[in-house]
């Protein structure tokens, strides 16, 4: 394999241009984020003194810190830990993922369980750090993008969107042709995913000669979604700006004027064009208002953020050199030799590894043992929680699907067991003897006690024997969360049914086997351990009523856009009240009238909190 050279000055120029373009686009789009109408911007809607704060860049600053902390072996587990320590945004999927991480769940389960926003833009906007730290190696960039996206988008289009952009942007280091770059990015996502279909249709409409306004309308007609952050439509708007834009300014304006998630579309396209053009290719008109500064949002805290784009660029390149070496790429960053990068030859093995990412279970924790192992583990462990996810109700049974595989070069003998919370019931230990690459599947049933908690700590224990004696034991902690007990009724006068919902969604249709229109009811108790002010949300597609101790506190008589977000649920579907410590009766009435019956009941903090950030979920408030 020949060495490919990336000149260090070229590396700096491409990375700096990308971060500068990111700041320009984010500052352009942030003030109009969420407007779904066609816009007519011609310049920044708010002329800034420096860039506007934006989560599109904020999270990537944390990921740079994660790379510096953990090195090239960084995985979704470490990214989740960084999230807990430094990211306190309540926005959509961010809020749900943070709730899951706080209760001990790990990616990909943290990004899939109880998450109605895994199809959204929170992860596609975080692609640049992986492309810049894996220059000229799209497969490596896509790998990191996957690890990132499953923290809060597992099982959804957000994962594919980030893999697409990361691969495309990494390829910019050796390829400048727009159409070829889009083609490269699309090879790293499934051909049948919604994002790929939206992009293929857009490319077809562009080739047919449709103008950009027609293309926008067709995107919304065939791939649109009421939620302005839905990924496929916004990724298509980003590429629309690139296809139809005559230059940098025209491109980012066309992207942002499509509306919807405007800070994301403009920021990502700004980054792509900034990488292609370099900082010297970006117009002073757009550069001067943002300058070299970095502004960090207040809910991002507790780590040494770069002070300016120069520092960000240098720190990015420092980690890029480590990643290129650790992944055994053929790329050498050289201070003097000219760049001589060409497209890497992707082997069948590389392609298979990417395809394998698309099909990984999002209901399972996956571990390499000993923990901390990255490449050649002694053993591999999968704990699959099943379609109901990692939830269990009081006195309820649950089956865990455990697969344990010997990945060492010798046979292993020992036993596997579970450590359970006090007064839980579970299996006895199981003796195992495995040859290299041999697996055992252990479908084991556990039963919870009568004590409800927000989350429960369990552990898988692998004890190894040598010479018929205990040699060593490895313990792998994992968590389950509390499923809430409800009594529910359908619209046909049926008797009430006691059910356990694994998350915050009340799934009448699934539990009752009914999709009839009419009034659906549910009752439970809310347990609040201490006096506090809360925002209580009953998010629904149709009319909804929530009663607290028999009094109506939420009454929405119309059908609204379904928005079960902690920070932006409709005013008609939320109330902010002070609750004393104690138990409260909760009753919910939801009217189904042609649309799917979707209802989420959510207790979250108010906007103004002391620490760490706004509208976080109260994990210690229980239903049941």
What digits encode the pLDDT tens for the residues 605-618? 999 988 788 999 99
The mean pLDDT of 183-210, rounded to a whole number, is: 98
Q: Which CATH class is domain 4-354?
A: mainly alpha
Question: Cα–Cα distance between 526 and 546 in angstroms, integer?
Answer: 12
- Are the beta carbons of 208 and 184 closer than 8 angstroms? no
pLDDT band at 45 (very low <50, low <70, confident <90, very high): very high
Whether 152 contacts 93, CB under 8 Å: yes
Tell me whether strands 391-392 and 469-482 are parallel, antiparallel or unpaired. parallel
Q: How many CA atoms lie within 13 A of 29 on its CB side?
A: 37
Strand 439-447 to 484-489 pairing = unpaired
Q: How many residues does the chain have?
A: 624
- Tens digit of each residue's pLDDT (9 = 90 or more) over 6-39: 999 999 999 999 999 999 999 999 999 999 999 9
Q: Give residue 349's pLDDT band: very low, low, confident or very high (50, 70, 90).
A: confident
Contact 53, 297 (CB under 8 A): yes
d(CA 354, CA 351): 5
Q: Which CATH superfamily is domain 363-482 in?
A: Immunoglobulins (2.60.40.10)
Identify which has the larger pLDDT, 372 or 487.
487
C-alpha 359: how far from chain center? 16
What local confidence, expressed as pLDDT, does residue 275 receive? 98
| Tokens representing residue 493 in the block | 């006068």
Q: What is the dihedral of CA 233, 127, 249, 119, to 10 degrees?
A: 10
As to burial, measured by CB atoms within 10 angstroms (0-12 exposed, 13-18 middle, 19+ buried), residue 167 is buried
Does residue 554 register a pLDDT over 80? yes
What pLDDT score was predicted for residue 249? 98
> Which burial class, exposed, middle or buried, applies to 42 when counting CB atoms under 10 A from its CB (0-12, 13-18, 19+)?
exposed
Residue 595: which pLDDT band, with cuts at 50, 70 and 90? confident
Query: Exposed, middle or buried: residue 285 (CB in 10 Å: 0-12, 13-18, 19+)?
Result: exposed
Confidence of residue 177 (pLDDT cuts 50, 70, 90): very high
Q: To the nearest whole number, what is the mean pLDDT of the chain?
A: 96
How far, in Å, are 86, 165, 404, 407, 460 from residue 440 at the CA level?
A: 39, 38, 5, 12, 14
Q: pLDDT, tens digit, for every residue of 296-327?
A: 999 999 999 999 999 999 999 999 999 999 99
Burial environment of residue 378 by CB neighbours within 10 A (0 to 12, 13 to 18, 19 or more): middle
Domain residue ranges of the chain, discontinuous segments joined by +:
4-354, 363-482, 484-623
In this prediction, residue 351 carries a pLDDT of 84
Do the beta carbons of residue 39 and residue 45 sit within 8 Å? no
- The pLDDT, as a whole number, for residue 291 is 94
> What beta strand segments (E) does 302-350 contain?
331-334
CATH topology of domain 484-623: Jelly Rolls (2.60.120)
**d(Cα 600, Cα 584) in Å, to the nearest integer?**
18
Q: If pLDDT is split at 50, 70 and 90, which confidence band does 494 have?
A: confident
Q: Which residues contact 5 (CB under 8 A, 6 or more apart)?
A: 331, 332, 334, 337, 338, 339, 340, 341
Residue 548's beta-bridge partner residues? 551, 586
Give the separation between CA 589 and CA 555, rounded to whole angstroms: 9
Task: Assess whether the region 4-354 and the region 363-482 belong to the same CATH fold.
Answer: no
At 355, phi and psi to the nearest 5? -60, -35
Work out the average pLDDT over 231-236.
Answer: 98
The per-residue pLDDT for range 65-97, each reduced to its tens digit, is: 999 999 999 999 999 999 999 999 999 999 999
Task: Quote the pLDDT of residue 1.
Answer: 56
Over residues 593-608, the mean pLDDT reads 94
């Amino acid at each position: 394999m020949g060495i490919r050279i990336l000149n260090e000055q070229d590396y700096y120029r491409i990375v700096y241009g990308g971060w500068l373009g990111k700041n320009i686009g984010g500052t352009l789009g942030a003030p109009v984020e969420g407007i779904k109408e066609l816009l007519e911007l011609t310049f920044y809607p708010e002329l800034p003194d420096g860039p506007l704060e934006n989560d599109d860049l904020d999270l990537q600053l944390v990921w740079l810190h994660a790379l510096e902390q953990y090195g090239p072996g960084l995985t979704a587990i470490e990214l989740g830990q960084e999230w807990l320590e430094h990211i306190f945004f309540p926005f959509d999927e961010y809020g749900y993922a943070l709730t899951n991480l706080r209760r001990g769940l790990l990616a990909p389960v943290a990004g899939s369980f109880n998450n109605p926003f895994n199809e959204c833009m929170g992860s596609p906007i975080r692609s640049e750090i992986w492309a810049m730290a894996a220059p000229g190696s799209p497969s490596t960039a896509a790998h990191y993008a996957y690890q990132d996206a499953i923290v809060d988008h597992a099982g959804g289009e957000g994962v594919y969107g980030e893999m697409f952009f990361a691969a495309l942007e990494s390829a910019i280091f050796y390829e400048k042709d727009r159409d070829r770059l889009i083609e490269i990015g699309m090879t790293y996502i499934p051909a049948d995913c919604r994002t790929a279909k939206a992009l293929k249709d857009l490319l077809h409409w562009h080739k047919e000669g449709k103008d950009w306004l027609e293309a926008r309308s067709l995107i919304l007609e065939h791939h649109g979604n009421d939620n302005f952050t839905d990924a496929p439509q916004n990724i298509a708007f980003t590429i629309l700006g690139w296809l139809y834009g005559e230059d940098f300014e025209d491109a980012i304006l066309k992207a942002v004027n499509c509306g919807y998630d405007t800070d994301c579309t403009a920021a990502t396209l700004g980054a792509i064009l900034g990488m292609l053009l370099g900082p010297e290719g970006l117009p002073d008109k757009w550069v001067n208002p943002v300058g070299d500064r970095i502004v960090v949002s207040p809910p991002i805290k507790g780590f040494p953020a770069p002070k300016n784009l120069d520092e960000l660029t240098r720190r990015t390149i420092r980690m890029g050199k480590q990643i290129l070496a650790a992944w055994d790429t053929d790329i050498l960053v050289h201070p003097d030799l000219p760049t001589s990068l060409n497209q890497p030859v992707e082997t069948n093995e590389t392609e298979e590894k990417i395809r394998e990412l698309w099909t990984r279970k999002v209901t399972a924790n996956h571990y390499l043992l000993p923990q901390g192992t990255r490449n050649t583990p002694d053993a591999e462990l999968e704990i699959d929680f099943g379609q109901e996810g990692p939830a269990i109700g009081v006195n309820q049974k649950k089956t865990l699907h455990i697969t344990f595989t010997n990945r060492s070069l010798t046979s292993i003998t020992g036993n596997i067991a579970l450590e359970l919370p006090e007064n839980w019931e579970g299996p006895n230990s199981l003796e195992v003897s495995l040859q290299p690459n041999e697996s055992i599947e252990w479908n084991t049933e556990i039963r919870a006690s009568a004590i409800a908690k927000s989350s429960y700590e369990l552990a898988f224990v692998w004890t190894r024997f040598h010479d018929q004696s205990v040699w060593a034991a490895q313990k792998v902690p994992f968590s389950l969360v509390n499923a809430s007990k409800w009594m529910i009724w359908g619209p046909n006068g049926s008797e009430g049914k006691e059910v356990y919902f694994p998350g915050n969604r009340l799934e009448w249709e699934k539990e009752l086997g009914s999709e009839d229109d009419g009034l659906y009811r549910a009752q439970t108790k809310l347990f609040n351990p201490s006096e506090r002010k809360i925002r209580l949300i009953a998010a629904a597609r149709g009319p909804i009523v929530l009663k607290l101790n028999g009094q109506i506190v939420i009454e929405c008589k119309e059908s609204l856009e379904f928005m079960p977000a902690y920070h932006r649920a409709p005013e008609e579907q939320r109330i902010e009240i002070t609750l004393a410590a104690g138990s409260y009766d909760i009753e919910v009435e939801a009217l189904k009238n042609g649309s799917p019956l979707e209802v989420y009941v959510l207790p979250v903090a108010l906007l103004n909190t002391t620490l760490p950030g706004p509208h976080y979920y109260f994990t210690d408030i229980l239903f049941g």
